[in-house]
Amino acid sequence: MLDQLPLITQRLMLRRLLPVDADDLLAIYGNPDNARYEFWQAWTAEQVEELIYSQAEVFLGDPGVPFILGVIEPESAALIGAVHLTINSIEDRQGELGFTFNPAHTGRGFATEAVNAALGYAFFTMKMHRMFAAVDTRNERSWKLMERLGMRREAHFIHANLEGQHWADDFTYAMLEHEWSSCGRPSC
């Protein structure tokens, strides 16, 4: 299946990761503030390089493997975020969404614009029926973004993850294909 990339939005471009993205990705994945709400510790430069090179081998439609779209702000050519799309079930057309952005580029609607575009891509290019996302309940910015996009909170998992000595809760949000398209996206 052809990936039909890049995606162009009003202010952004979403494309596959490239070796030139290493420093910008390190600013995202190596950031301890981002890592505190994720299942990973802050990454090293070597881990970022490995991710970039492994993504070159990922094909749209590979089940269980995150397909990562780099979010580029064209004016500066900087990679400001990453959106992960993972097919969990080909037969049931179920997929998972994840996203992480550089805190230096937040507060301007870039994440909302990029995640909205990625949802459209998942529904219409990847042919997903349902997309869901898990989020640490303390990560209010992320779950409010999903609510802005019309995703529905389906679950609150108590003590879903052990982080060191403390338990963290998760919310699960989801959206169906007809829910994304019913409001006239991408314009709403």
Residue 187 pLDDT level (bands cut at 50, 70, 90): very low
| Model pLDDT for residues 26-81, shown as the tens digit of each residue | 999 998 887 777 767 888 999 999 999 999 999 888 899 999 999 999 989 999 99
The predicted-structure confidence for 94-122, as pLDDT tens digits, reads as follows 999 999 999 999 899 999 999 999 999 99
Residue 130 pLDDT greater than 90, yes or no: yes
Domain count, the chain: 1
Residue 58 maps to a domain? yes
Predicted pLDDT of residue 188 = 47
Cis, bond preceding 103 (omega within 30 deg of 0): no
Residue 31 lies in a domain: yes
Question: What percent of the chain is predicted at pLDDT more than 90?
Answer: 77
Q: Please answer whether residues 101 and 79 qualify as being in contact, where contact means their C-beta atoms are separated by less than 8 angstroms.
A: no
**Mean pLDDT (whole number) for 140-153:** 95
From CA 21, how far away is CA 17, in angstroms rounded? 7
Whichever domain contains 160, its CATH number is 3.40.630.30
> Is there a domain that residue 187 lies in?
no
Whether residue 1 has pLDDT greater than 60: no
